[in-house]
Structure 1
Amino acid sequence: MSEKRSDLGRDLARIAIFAALIIALGMVTIPLPTGVPITGQTLGVMLAGTVLGPRRGPSAVLLVLVLAAIGLPVLAGGHGGIAAFAGPSAGYLIGWIAGAFVTGLIAHSGRITWWRTGCATVVGGIGAVYLIGVPVQAAVTGLGLGPTALSSLVFLPGDLIKAVAATALTLALRRAYPPAFGVRARARAV
C-alpha cells in the first residue's frame, strides 16, 4: 500500500514539475498581430508528453489550464483568467492536452529512440495542437479556415525548432536520469 502511495507521490511531483516548466516557458513571449503569441510553452507540452507519457503528460497540461482558468497568471506573458479560453489562442490551449497525449502515445509506444521521439513531437506537439488551434482561431477571429491556417505558418519554423529541442532534451534526460520517466517505479513492479 505504501509503495503505491509512494508511486502516486512521484507521479504527482513529476506532473507538478512539468506544469511549472510549461508555465516558466511562457514568461517570454513574442506578440503577433494574429492575437496568438510565440512562446516556449509548446516546448513544455512536447516534453510533458515525451517524458511523462500519454496519461501524465496531459495531466500536467490540464493543471496549467486549470490554474489559468481560476485566474492565476500562468499563460503567455503572465496572463490568466477564463477570458483566455474565449480568445484566438483558446483552441491552441485546448490543443495542448491533445498534443501532450498524442506525443506521449507515440513516444512511449516502444523504446524511446530519436526517430520515435522526433515523430511524436512533430505529430503530437505540432500537428495535434494545430488541428484544434487553427479552426478555433478561425471561428474566434471570423477569418476563414484557409487564411487562418496560412497565417499560422508563421509558428511552424519555431515549432520545428522546439520539436528538435524536445527530442534532444528527452534523449539526454533518458540517459542522465531514467527515473524522470517513471522507470524505477515500473522496474520495481516487474
Structure 2
Amino acid sequence: MAARRSTARDLAQIAIFAALIAALGVPGTLHLAGNAVPITLQTLGVMLAGSLLGARKGALAVATFLALVACGLPLLAGGRGGIQFLTVEPSAGYAWGFLAGAFVIGLLTQQMMPRYRLWFGLVANAVGGVLVVYLIGTLWVWIGTGAALGTALVRNGIYLPGDAFKVVIASVVATQVHRAYPGLIARSRPNAPEVRESLPAAAPAAFPAPTSPPALPTTSGGEQADDIGRTDRR
C-alpha cells in the first residue's frame, strides 16, 4: 500500500511540473536581434522541476512535456507544437537541452540533500539550466544550420541576463519549498552506515583463576562434618 501511494504521488508530481512548464509558455516568446531561438519562461520551469523533484522525476516531467509537444499539442512558448520543433527547427536543440538540464540540476541537488543550500542551488541551476542547455542548443544550431560556432556562441549571450534572473528565482523558490517540506528529495548516495569498532575479545588468562573449595556441610551444632577421609574410631 505504501509503495502504491508513493507511485501515485510521484506521477502526480511529474504531471504537475509538466503542466507548469507548459503554463510558463503562455506569455509567448520574444525574439531579439533576429535570433531564431526565442526567449521564454519555460527554462524557469525546467529549473524548478530539477530543483524540486530531483534527477529522475525532474527529467520525466520534461520528457512528458516534450512528448505532448511531439504529439502536436501547442505547448511550446508562442503556441507552437509538433514533431518538427524537436527535430528540424533551430530551437530543437534547446528543447532537448531542457531534458538534460533538468536531469543535471536534479542530480546536483540530490548531492546536497537533506538540506537545500541557496548558494549550491545557484550553482546547480546555473550549470544545468544555463550551461547544459546552452551547450546542447548551440551545438544543434551550429550543426543543423551551418552557422559559425563563434556566431552561435555570441548570439547566446543575449539570453544570459534573463537566464541569470531565472537561476536566482528558481533557487530562492526551491530554498523556501525545501525548508517547508524537508525530505522532498532523497540524497543520491545515502550516508555510509556507521561502523562500530568492536573491542577485541579479552585474551584467555595464562593460568585459571583459583576456585574456592566447596563449602562443607555443618551439623546441627554448627560443627563441620568432614566425611571425606574420616574413619570410624569405634
Q: Which residue of 1 aligns with 2:211?
A: none
Q: Which residue of 2 aligns with 1:20?
A: 19
For residues 10 and 122 of structure 1, the distance between their equivalents in structure 2, rounded to whole angstroms, comes to 28
Deviation at 1:132, TM superposition (A): 0.5
Higher mean C-alpha displacement, 131-140 vs 93-102: 131-140
Alignment of 1:67 with 2:68, yes or no, is: yes
Q: Which residue of 1 aligns with 2:170?
A: 166
TM-score (norm 2): 0.74
Q: Which residue of 1 aligns with 2:45?
A: 44
Instruction: Give unpaired runs (5+ residues) of structure 2.
Output: 187-234
Q: Which residue of 1 aligns with 2:101?
A: 99
Alignment of 1:124 with 2:128, yes or no, is: yes
Structure with more relative contact order (C-alpha pairs < 8 Å, separation 6 or more): 1
Q: Is the 8 A contact 2:50 2:105 kept in 1?
A: yes
Deviation at 1:27, TM superposition (A): 1.5
Matched residue count: 181
After superposing on structure 2, the runs of 4+ consecutive aligned residues of structure 1 that deviate more than 4 Å are: none
Supply the AA of the counterpart residue of 1:68: V
For residues 182 and 108 of structure 1, the distance between their equivalents in structure 2, rounded to whole angstroms, comes to 7
CA RMSD across the alignment: 1.3
Q: Which of 146, 151, 154 in structure 2 is aligned with 1:147? A: 151
Aligned sequence identity (%): 49
Supply the AA of the counterpart residue of 2:109: A
Superposed CA deviations along residues 19-65 of structure 1, whole A, max 9, x for unmatched, are 11111111122133221111110000011001000110000000000
Deviation at 1:182, TM superposition (A): 5.2
Q: Which residue of 2 aligns with 1:134?
A: 138
Larger radius of gyration: 2
For residues 135 and 111 of structure 2, the distance between their equivalents in structure 1, rounded to whole angstroms, comes to 22
Larger helix fraction of residues: 1
